[in-house]
Amino acid sequence: MKIVMLGAPGAGKGTQAKKIASNFGIPHISTGDLFRVNIKNETALGKKAKVYIDQGFLVPDDLVLELIEERLGMADCKEGYVLDGFPRTIPQSKALDHTLNNKNDKLEYTIEVDVPDEVIIDRMAGRRACLSCGRTYHLETLRPKAEGICDFCGSFLILRDDDKPETVMKRLEVYHKQTQPLIDYYRERGILHTVDGTGEIEMIYQEIINILV
């Protein structure tokens, strides 16, 4: 099963992608998480990507493709995956199609999690993230059992540098300009499914499961 999660920053792609991945036993692949691990480990790729991420811009396609192609080549991707935050531009989606075509394969589902910008801005301020396992929490809607500590791996939770309100505004602007055209691209191919992302996390998940089974 090969699934792409689409939606604005903070729409809940990561939250839903993790649940889908664990339900179907396939990997959750978030390019944002992969970049954050590279930034934390101060790799050459991480240093280059940080400059763009901290300003709310997209990382250039060539750096993203270098990262994702290596990941999709790993053994755990054979039965499928949930892509979260990739593709984000038309050239990235064409590169993904090309990689899949070469394996006689194709994408099966793209799930758009639809949330208005004003809801997003509120959500981001309350988000706390685990840099070790990528899980996200929220100060009001999804609190960890122990304050400031990840339930799953015990690491400290942080407020992401790019969740500052002015950077969130920039990320939303970039999303509407560079990523939203993908919605039409996948709709024309007949594989786009849109869910309302403003309800409860569990309700949205059920809606997605109904699409996938």
Tell me whether residue 88 is one of the annotated catalytic residues: yes
Binding mask 22-61 for ligand AP5 (x = CB under 6 A): --------xxx--x----------------xx---xxx--
> Out of Mg ion, ligand AP5, none, which partner does residue 58 contact, by CB within 5 to 8 A per kind?
ligand AP5
Q: Cα dist. 189→3, 91, 97, 111, 156 in Å?
A: 14, 16, 12, 13, 42
Among residues 37, 142, 149, 183, which is the contact residue for ligand AP5, using CB under 6 A? 142
With binding defined as CB under 6 A, does residue 171 bind ligand AP5? yes
Residue whose structure tokens are 């009001």: 140
Given candidates 6, 130, 204, 208, which one binds ligand AP5 under the rule CB under 6 A? 204
Name the residue number minimizing CB distance to ligand AP5. Answer: 32
Our finding on whether 12 is near Mg ion (CB under 5 A) is: no
Which letter does DSSP use for residue 163 in this model? Answer: G
111: phi then psi, degrees, rounded to nearest 5: -110, 115
Among the listed residues 19, 127, 128, 135, the single catalytic one is: 127
Nearest distance, CB of residue 196 and Mg ion, angstroms: 18
Residue 171 — left, alpha, or beta (φ > 0 → left; ψ -120 to 50 → alpha)? alpha
Q: Tell me how far apart the alpha carbons of residues 58 and 133 are, in angstroms, rounded to a whole number.
A: 22
What is the C-alpha separation between 183 and 161, in angstroms, rounded?
A: 28
- In the complex with Mg ion, the residue whose CB is nearer, 14 or 56, is 14
Do 67 and 31 contact (CB within 8 A), yes or no? Answer: yes
Pairing of strands 157-158, 127-130: antiparallel
Q: Which residues are catalytic?
A: 13, 88, 127, 160, 171
- Write out the residues near ligand AP5 by the rule CB under 6 A: 7, 9-15, 30-32, 35, 52-53, 57-59, 64, 85-86, 88, 92, 123, 127, 136-138, 141-142, 162, 171, 197, 201, 204
